Chains A and B, each alone.
Chain A
């Protein structure tokens, strides 16, 4: 158990809909990362938050947005869903140590868009 909690584990929704994925980081970790994993693309970085503020952005679509709340949990909002958005979405939290970053991943949310 990595200590990172993601809900829900599975989500099935129709095209055009909007969903919210939730992530609770490990206790004490200030950074939260969101990644998308599809069969052909591998793990792709979407966005990072650090202590409530956006820190870095990757290949995140404009239809997607995220935020990190004062209690450090994070939500990833996906809207106007398309079939191609079907993927595993992972959240990771990390701690900045003296020698670098160690990231720990949740179990993921499997999103299926039909």
Chain B
């Protein structure tokens, strides 16, 4: 069974203080690893898909990387508007369903 573990559960940063969010996964045959951002009471917002180890993708202050066992979401010089819960999910085998981690709640103080 696919498993996704995200750490830390919560992270508080000062504005401008760069950091990384971790997503460890166990799957049989990774088809894709996904990062989403979720604001309170709203649906997850798609950020990135990574398909193979060594792949990297960037969007504004966010950069996602992937190894064979984990993915990192690097946040460079975060702003208060980056405060949200960041979800990691994997898709494996012939199934299209996503298995999600429990998320990392990021708070960025001005």
Contact = CB atoms under 8 A, between A and B. Distances in A.
Number of contact residues on B: which range applies? Answer: 20 to 34
Interface of B: 31-32, 34, 36, 41-46, 49, 51, 87, 89, 91, 95-103
B96 A31 contact: yes
Nearest to B100: A43
B46 A103 contact: yes
A100 B48 CA distance: 12
A43 B106 CA distance: 18
A101 interface: yes
B96 to A, nearest CB: 5
B99 to A, nearest CB: 7
Contacts of B97: 33, 45, 48, 56, 58
21 contacts: A31-B96, A33-B96, A33-B97, A33-B98, A42-B87, A42-B100, A43-B44, A43-B89, A43-B98, A50-B96, A56-B97, A88-B41, A99-B51, A100-B32, A100-B49, A101-B31, A101-B32, A103-B46, A105-B43, A105-B45, A107-B43
